[in-house]
Amino acid sequence: MSPNVVGISAHYHDAACCVLRAGRLVAAAQEERFTRRKHDPAIPRRAFRYCLEEAGLTLPQVDCVAYYENPLLKAERQSWMSQRRAGPGLAGPDADRPLRDIRRVLGIEGSIEIVRHHQSHAAGAYFFSGFEDAAILTVDGVGEWETMTFAHGRGAEIRQLAAVNFPHSIGLLYSTITAFLGFEVNDGEYKVMGLAPYGRPRYVDQLWDLVGRHDGPNFELRLEYFGFLDGDTMYAPALAELLGHSPRSPESELTPFAEDLARSLQIVLNELLLAKVRWLHEQTGAEALCLSGGVALNCVANHRIRAEGPFFRVFVQPAASDAGGALGAAALAHVRLTGERPATEPLDHVFLGPAYSVDGIARLLAAGPARYRDFRGDEARLITDVAARLEGGQVIGWFHGRMEFGPRALGGRSILGDPRRDDMRDRINALVKKREAFRPFAPAVLEAVAAEHFDLPGPSPFMLETFPVRSPLALPAITHVDGSARVQTVHPRQNPRFARLLDAFGRRTGCPLLLNTSFNLRGEPIVCTPLDAMLCFIRSDIDTLVLEDFVIERAGLPASWVEWWHETAPDSFQAVSNVVYTFL
């Protein structure tokens, strides 16, 4: 009998839980969505409860819990770091905490499998790729000690070929420049990626000076430029001397220097990763590549790897950061228990979180004074109504079906707009998302016509790669300054209602794509529940909220609700602190 396996990632950032039943992924969610604490690292008790309910399991029916890293090895590195900073005698880290929390907080009495951090990343990519033979590259800040691993997956076996260990790390190189540019480490790296196309590659040579040996599978940092080992910032004073500029203060104006440094960093990252995948191809001879780890969320580098690398097929784990480690840990535990790999079909969607019943939403709305329209039993009329609002220039909060797993909103918890409008990007950035104006938005497009608008080789369902825009339409709201877009292709099999909305908008306007961004305000997780969506709607300038079969206009909100928010809202966002990467 196939086991029921729970995967857990926790105690660093992006804590998450998943369930495999008979080797098939049936549920996965991040704890932040339930607690409303962005990147919540706590043991995922709420996500665990949801996953069991979704899988129809009780605690005694859980055969095994898999934890995504080795606590003893992690504590070893943390102790080494602590002694460097404070000297001997400092109390060591609590290596027993992960297993203690799994037993005491989650109530698990049975088997617990420990999987090393980069093994979890590798397995989370390979076993959900659908490939039977693939090279695997994992790149992040740091796991226990490893920061980059090279592996080969065949059947149920993953064989590691080489590794780079802390403190040498491509991920920490990127995070150091992220901090130098005034963005928050472990969160702002995607901002640096979005800023890069605005600049010129003026600092490429200086950034290569930060790197020592990087041939083959090797990678070294010249540590005199980095402060994360001993200091309170990621960078050492020598970095400012090398670049000829002081670090940018958080939330201050972005200068041409910042743009140029971001562009230079992206070029160096691209070249480093291309060199690594080429070496990995030489070692494995595989035709397919799997990517995971936080660095695999860099969509620009992913495109370069696909376009210029030696592999015919590339799969990027949709939840490539630590959240996806829960999937890999569960998959490897399944292999250990059965001797067989999990289900071999590729992961083609990530709608793995909770859904909420139409009747429950009806009761929620009926209990309050907001006015709404009820389209129960008439989806066609609902789709027509929403498509007309989008054509008229409205910004729509779209809440439907199961919540997405991973960092991208893919039509379950999305904010939507007309990509043809010149003002749409600035309006959503300034009035809805409350975020930096330079950051681009992504398009969602029907898979069947995606090649008419973007230079892409096939489906891109997870919004993990940039492609050149070649549409005959003017699409200013989703076209980045370099002429690219981070594309999500939509197939009716994966999300039928969202596909029907795209089709309806296309029939009305000749444009079968929409601006699609995550349904959240700056600094908050993507919404999970109908109540989360209502609160975000009230606090933003979204024009209309679609909660399953119900449509609520901003004019239908009680004035007292809107006044309450404007009275209690902060005047500005707190500037992020330029702190060291959270090793300890």
Q: Is the peptide bond before 167 cis (omega within 30 degrees of 0)?
A: yes
Q: Where residue 400 falls among pLDDT bands split at 50, 70, 90? A: very high
Q: Which domain holds residue 197?
A: 170-316
- Whole-number percent of the chain with pLDDT over 70: 95
In a domain, 110, yes or no: yes
CA 292 to chain centroid, in Å, comes to: 11
Q: Output the pLDDT for position 578.
A: 44
Q: 42, exposed or middle or buried, with CB in 10 Å at 0-12, 13-18, 19+?
A: middle
The domain total for the chain is 3
Phi, psi of 458 (to 5 degrees): 180, -165
pLDDT of residue 64 exceeding 90, the answer is: yes
In a domain, 538, yes or no: yes
Q: Where residue 566 falls among pLDDT bands split at 50, 70, 90? A: low
Overall average pLDDT of the 94-100 stretch:
93
Q: Where residue 20 falls among pLDDT bands split at 50, 70, 90? A: very high
CA dihedral 539, 544, 547, 549 (to 10 degrees): 160
Asked if residue 326 and residue 309 are part of one domain, the reply reads: no
Q: How many CB atoms are located within 10 Å of the residue 536 CB? A: 22
In a domain, 350, yes or no: no
Q: Where residue 570 falls among pLDDT bands split at 50, 70, 90? A: very low
Q: 3-class DSSP state for residue 135?
A: strand
Better pLDDT: 109 or 92: 109
Active-site residue identified among 13, 39, 117, 168: 13
pLDDT of residue 472 exceeding 90, the answer is: yes
- Whole-number percent of the chain with pLDDT over 90: 87
Q: In this structure, what token pair is assigned to residue 317?
A: 């784990």
In a domain, 345, yes or no: no
Asked if residue 394 and residue 504 are part of one domain, the reply reads: yes
Asked if residue 275 and residue 257 are part of one domain, the reply reads: yes
Residue type for position 451? A
Catalytic annotation on 13? yes
**Can you point out the beta strands (E) in 325-406?**
373-374, 396-399
Asked if residue 178 and residue 111 are part of one domain, the reply reads: no
Asked if residue 331 and residue 306 are part of one domain, the reply reads: no
C-alpha distances (whole Å) from 229 to each of 25, 92, 207, 234, 466 are 38, 17, 19, 8, 34
pLDDT of residue 145 exceeding 70, the answer is: yes
Q: Output the pLDDT for position 575.
A: 35
Give per-residue pLDDT as tens, 312-368.
Answer: 999 999 999 999 999 999 999 999 999 999 988 999 999 999 999 999 999 999 998
Give per-residue pLDDT as tens, 163-209.
Answer: 999 999 999 999 999 999 999 998 899 999 999 999 999 999 999 99
Give per-residue pLDDT as tens, 386-396.
Answer: 999 999 999 99
Q: In this structure, what token pair is assigned to residue 20?
A: 């495999």
Q: Output the pLDDT for position 581.
A: 47
Give per-residue pLDDT as tens, 253-309.
Answer: 999 999 999 999 999 999 999 999 999 999 999 999 999 999 999 999 999 999 999
- 554 contacts 479 by C-beta, under 8 angstroms: no
In a domain, 164, yes or no: no
Asked if residue 50 and residue 8 are part of one domain, the reply reads: yes
Q: Output the pLDDT for position 579.
A: 46
- 484 contacts 301 by C-beta, under 8 angstroms: no
Overall average pLDDT of the 3-16 stretch:
96
Asked if residue 287 and residue 299 are part of one domain, the reply reads: yes
Closest residue by Cα to residue 297 from 153, 152, 469, 125? 125
Asked if residue 334 and residue 274 are part of one domain, the reply reads: no
Q: Output the pLDDT for position 429.
A: 87
pLDDT of residue 27 exceeding 60, the answer is: yes
Which of 48-57, 530-539, 568-577 has the lowest average pLDDT? 568-577
Asked if residue 90 and residue 13 are part of one domain, the reply reads: yes
In a domain, 165, yes or no: no
pLDDT of residue 228 exceeding 90, the answer is: yes
What's the CATH code of the domain at 269? 3.30.420.40
What's the CATH code of the domain at 518? 3.90.870.20
Asked if residue 333 and residue 277 are part of one domain, the reply reads: no
Asked if residue 363 and residue 310 are part of one domain, the reply reads: no
Per the prediction, the chain carries an average pLDDT of: 94
In a domain, 158, yes or no: no
In a domain, 94, yes or no: yes
- What is the chain's Cα-based Rg? 23
Label residue 216 left, alpha or beta by phi (over 0 means left) and psi (-120 to 50 means alpha): left
Q: What is the DSSP string of 438-491?
A: T---EEEEEGGGGGGTB--SS--TT---EEEB--SS--TTT--TTSEEE-EEE-
pLDDT of residue 83 exceeding 70, the answer is: yes
- 330 contacts 319 by C-beta, under 8 angstroms: no
Asked if residue 562 and residue 414 are part of one domain, the reply reads: yes
